[in-house]
Amino acid sequence: MTILVAGGSGLVGSAVVRNLRQANRSVIGISSNDVNLLDREKTFSFIQDLKPIAIIDAAAKVGGIGGNNAYPVEFLSQNLQIQTNLMDAAHNANVDKFVFLGSSCIYPKESPQPIKEEYLLTGELEQTNSAYAIAKISGIELIRSYRKEFGHKWISLMPTNLYGPNDNFDLENGHVLPALIRKFVEAQRSESREVTAWGTGNPLREFLYVEDLARAVILCLDRYDDAQHINVGTAEEISIKHLAEKIASKVGFKGKILWDNNKPDGTFRKVLDNQKILNLGWKPMISLDEGLTKTVQWYKQTKKF
């Protein structure tokens, strides 16, 4: 019985595929090169032919503050289409389980900290990525609706900020951590004396190594069955400025770090309450220091430009 991982070549999907294979589970990972999930007819046909026992939806159009702020139509429209096509196709093919992966940006900008699952829709969203957040909130609601109307054992997971191998290291559209890794590696290689980072460096964030999320996905696939989405995070936070200093140290960059205050910071603080996932028996295994070391090494070995 096969498990399908949509977005199987990306940061999250590739980690989930690796962990499922290590557990001797039958799994197929697909990317946009295999099936265009924006094409409803082709998505339905593929799912109907494969008839997987479960689908893990790690497919999405993602990006950092810059990309989300500049292209809200694409982030809203494409993510709505991808997740709706997949869920409708899964229902049509009688897929038993579906795991929808969202994002911590679904929560209000001024949410109490740490953020509990029930804080969803209790306040205004951060405007720089509200389009993406609304798409993910819609995915949560569609999962709930399929459970309510058809009794499906479908679930939603909301991971915190993720990083690791196969991340998007694009300087304009990538998230803050991979973008900083690229900036410092390129600065070291070119012997630059300074690096400029976005914003003030003051916002606080938590970061989860993608292998830890993959373990949470598999655990919840097997053991979680509830309409309430579930947070996946470390409950540990760090300022962006301190993060930049850590990355610079691991890369070996000894120059000056400048901060461009004209660029947006996004939400000031965002740390998830992870008690529900801890109660299921999961806990993060890779510390930020270890995860950064692994990711920097992977990037240096993979990106030889």
Catalytic residues: 132
Instruction: Answer for the pair 158, 12: CB distance below 8 angstroms, yes or no.
Output: no
Task: For residues 157 and 135, give the distance between their C-alpha atoms in angstroms, rounded to a whole number.
Answer: 14
Place of tokens 């990538």: 174
Helix (H) or strand (E) holding 82: helix 72-92
Residue 119, class by beta-carbon neighbours within 10 Å (0-12 exposed, 13-18 middle, 19+ buried)? middle
Task: For residues 289 and 237, give the distance between their C-alpha atoms in angstroms, rounded to a whole number.
Answer: 13
DSSP assignment of 244-265 equals: HHHHHHHHT--SEEEEETTS--
Task: For residues 142 and 234, give the distance between their C-alpha atoms in angstroms, rounded to a whole number.
Answer: 27
Task: For residues 246 and 4, give the distance between their C-alpha atoms in angstroms, rounded to a whole number.
Answer: 36
Sign of the dihedral through C-alpha 80, 82, 83, 85? positive
Task: For residues 283 and 266, give the distance between their C-alpha atoms in angstroms, rounded to a whole number.
Answer: 27
